[in-house]
Structure 1
Amino acid sequence: MKDTIQHRDGIRLTLSNDTEIVFDGDAPGDVTVLSHAHGDHLLNNSARAVTSELTAALSNVRQSEQTLTTTTHPTVELFRAGHIAGSRAARVTDPQTGRTYLYTGDCTTRSRLYIEGFTPVKADVLIMETTYGKPAYRFPPIAESLEQIHTWLEETMDTVVILFGYALGRAQKIQHILSHSPRSRVFITDAIDQLNGIISSHRDLSFDARLYDADVELREGDALVLPMSTGRISWIESLVERTGAITAGFSGWAIDDSFIYQRGVDKGFVLSDHCDFDELVGLVESVDPEMVYTTHGFTETFAQYLTKHHGYDVRALKQNQSTLTEF
């Protein structure tokens, strides 16, 4: 049997011996691989997965109704993906043909703060995320972004700042940045605190933020870190009005001027856990595969660019299509 790659519930790779590898999905298969613990990748019906110990622990906190345990499989190797703490890329080797498949999951080749960037490994077939797979998404150097953030934090010491980022990944990086700022009182929510604890127990990291509740009176110079999804909730709007707080969002999408209006924040800073466009191109060149499959984000745009400008054979994976018969 020839190998196939499908986008069903997650990405399904069927090897030449009929072994089915499922990446970041609950579709039935022989092996399940979980790249990281963000909500859009978590497993609902799987009890075992090839994943990092940290990702399994984070998954169990975020999905308390089930317990995920780690396992291994002789066809699967894991590599640090550089996305968030615990994230992994996976390379699968077909035991009959020796053909190799690299699944990046969400990844970043750029090192930043306490996260080491993904070092691409060689593979015959590359299955890659393309969240920012459009030429407009070229990020400034991380040192430049951090300098802008630190300068702003110092210039706004006379007021409260409310900082928005994903509860897992971005929120911890924002806390890390704040620990090197003049702001001595940093507050977080229970959800972020719980994730902090899991990460600290697996990594040589500590977070000194305090829990925020209704009894806390925010004052000049304080910082409150909240999940991005809470930005337009009424109690946040009331808090801003009561304290005169300035709000800021942290994301790769902040490269767009429209970011602050779409997110409803006063300031936007480029701080991403994904590769930008040039880093995606560099990743492909480093892996140098025979075939590339794109998934998530600007899949068609990036596929067309790689084919036209770099000569790669590229297909954009689409939901419920098979790479052998349905393109």
Structure 2
Amino acid sequence: MMRPQDLLQPRPEGLYCSPGDFYIDPVRPTPRAVVTHGHSDHARSGHGIVLATPETLAIMTERYGADFAQGRQPVAYGERVDRDGVEISLAPAGHVLGSAQAVLRWRGFTAVVSGDYKRRRDPTCKGFEPVQCDLFVSEATFGLPVFRHPPDTEEIARLLHSVRQFPERAHLVGAYALGKAQRLIRLLREAGWERPIYIHGAMQRLCALYEDLGVELGPLEPATAERGGDLAGEIVICPPSALQEKWSRRFADPVTAFASGWMSVRARARQRGVELPLVMSDHADWDELISTFRELPEALLWITHGREDGLLRWAELEGRKAQALRLSGYEDEED
């Protein structure tokens, strides 16, 4: 009988596919890598051949330069390629632009390595598509019942209400530069915000790349030092770290906000000095993780990089086979 470990094994470099001789999201340079998405804990430079979606390869080129790998193999969603008898395809993961689940088929066995994923609508990327499988490898970033994220529209409405309530103050919104910032901008546009949105210099290149890849973001302006005192009533998006840096002091009495799933933990908001916590995540919350597992009723579950214990207990109560897959080197970009 086919065993999952005959196809996939955790190694220090990452999750290794032995029959196909490649790694998925390796944390160290490897000869052959499949990369699920462009966040730096999953997409690293220095590999031999990198297989990923065209969007993820474009993001890696923007972040690391044209020589980030010795070679690259773009694979569109649904396209199938062969690696030494292992069939590889990519399915949308709904995490950020170009994010994918790696679908491996070998000797009648199907394994899906989901990378990072979310289940709610995101206007900047294709939504998650479940793939029936024998093994599903899932993250567990928000794998506790306490994590139930509110609708994005409610959080955007809270931000816009604060802008109307405090027109004399700029609103500085911390958001991760890849994925979260662009999603936040698109949601603001859908909510009717047509004025320019001001962005930190660290956001400019990735926002420009999103536009080049077909994601319209509307008018964006740089949040320069000269404009700092003139942005009352405006929305400024910056990396979360910039909220604590000298850069933020150019704004007179700003409202500090932070868009992250961790903002449901009020102690974290207080520790960061966040006045307006916005609970917005690019990861699945507890209910979305559970609903995903239920959509894949035949799959053995491997749970990794997150809060595995809660999901393992749920699986035990549901009579599902599950185990922790403790891969190292993966951090939560929202934290």
TM-score category, normalised to shorter length: 0.7 to 0.9
In the other structure, the counterpart of 1:61 is 62
**1:48 aligned partner, one-letter code:** I
In the other structure, the counterpart of 1:235 is 247
In the other structure, the counterpart of 1:211 is 222
Note the alpha carbon deviations across 1:118-156, whole angstroms, 9 max, x for none.
021101001111100011101123333333333233323
1:131 correspondence with 2:135 = no
Note the alpha carbon deviations across 1:47-106, whole angstroms, 9 max, x for none.
432211111111111112733423453211111110011111111001xx2100001100
Indicate if the aligned counterparts of 2:305 and 2:326 stay in contact, CA closer than 8 A.
no
Indicate if the aligned counterparts of 1:183 and 1:222 stay in contact, CA closer than 8 A.
no
* TM-score after normalising by structure 2: 0.85
Query: CA, structure 1 residues 134+158, in 2 after alignment: closer, same or farther (shift >3 Å)?
Result: same
Distance (whole Å) between structure 2 residues aligned to residue 277 and residue 185 of structure 1:
35
Distance (whole Å) between structure 1 residues aligned to residue 188 and residue 151 of structure 2:
19
Distance (whole Å) between structure 1 residues aligned to residue 20 and residue 127 of structure 2:
31
Query: CA, structure 1 residues 290+184, in 2 after alignment: closer, same or farther (shift >3 Å)?
Result: closer
Distance (whole Å) between structure 2 residues aligned to residue 2 and residue 182 of structure 1:
52
Among all aligned residue pairs of Structure 1 and Structure 2, give the percentage whose two residues are the same amino acid: 24
Aligned pairs for 1:187-202 (under 5 A) are: 187-202=198-213
1:12 Cα deviation (Å)? 1.8
1:273 correspondence with 2:285 = no
In the other structure, the counterpart of 2:169 is 159
In the other structure, the counterpart of 1:324 is none
Distance (whole Å) between structure 2 residues aligned to residue 183 and residue 245 of structure 1:
21
* TM-score after normalising by structure 1: 0.87
Note the alpha carbon deviations across 1:161-195, whole angstroms, 9 max, x for none.
11100011111122223434557242112321100
In the other structure, the counterpart of 1:105 is 115
Which runs of structure 1 show a deviation greater than 6 angstroms over 4 or more consecutive aligned residues? none
Indicate if the aligned counterparts of 1:185 and 1:221 stay in contact, CA closer than 8 A.
no
1:234 Cα deviation (Å)? 2.9
Distance (whole Å) between structure 2 residues aligned to residue 204 and residue 28 of structure 1:
31
1:34 Cα deviation (Å)? 0.7
- Match for residue 237 of structure 2 among 211, 219, 225: 225
1:316 correspondence with 2:333 = no
Indicate if the aligned counterparts of 1:7 and 1:318 stay in contact, CA closer than 8 A.
no
Q: Secondary structure at the match of 2:59?
A: helix
Range 84-93 or range 23-32, more displaced: 23-32
Unmatched tracts of structure 1, length 5 or more: 321-327
1:22 Cα deviation (Å)? 1.1
Distance (whole Å) between structure 2 residues aligned to residue 11 and residue 229 of structure 1:
31
Indicate if the aligned counterparts of 2:14 and 2:327 stay in contact, CA closer than 8 A.
no
Distance (whole Å) between structure 2 residues aligned to residue 151 and residue 139 of structure 1:
19
Unmatched tracts of structure 2, length 5 or more: 76-80, 329-335
In the other structure, the counterpart of 2:268 is 259
Query: CA, structure 1 residues 208+27, in 2 after alignment: closer, same or farther (shift >3 Å)?
Result: same
Distance (whole Å) between structure 1 residues aligned to residue 166 and residue 123 of structure 2:
22
Q: Secondary structure at the match of 1:305?
A: helix
Indicate if the aligned counterparts of 2:185 and 2:217 stay in contact, CA closer than 8 A.
no
Q: Secondary structure at the match of 1:137?
A: coil
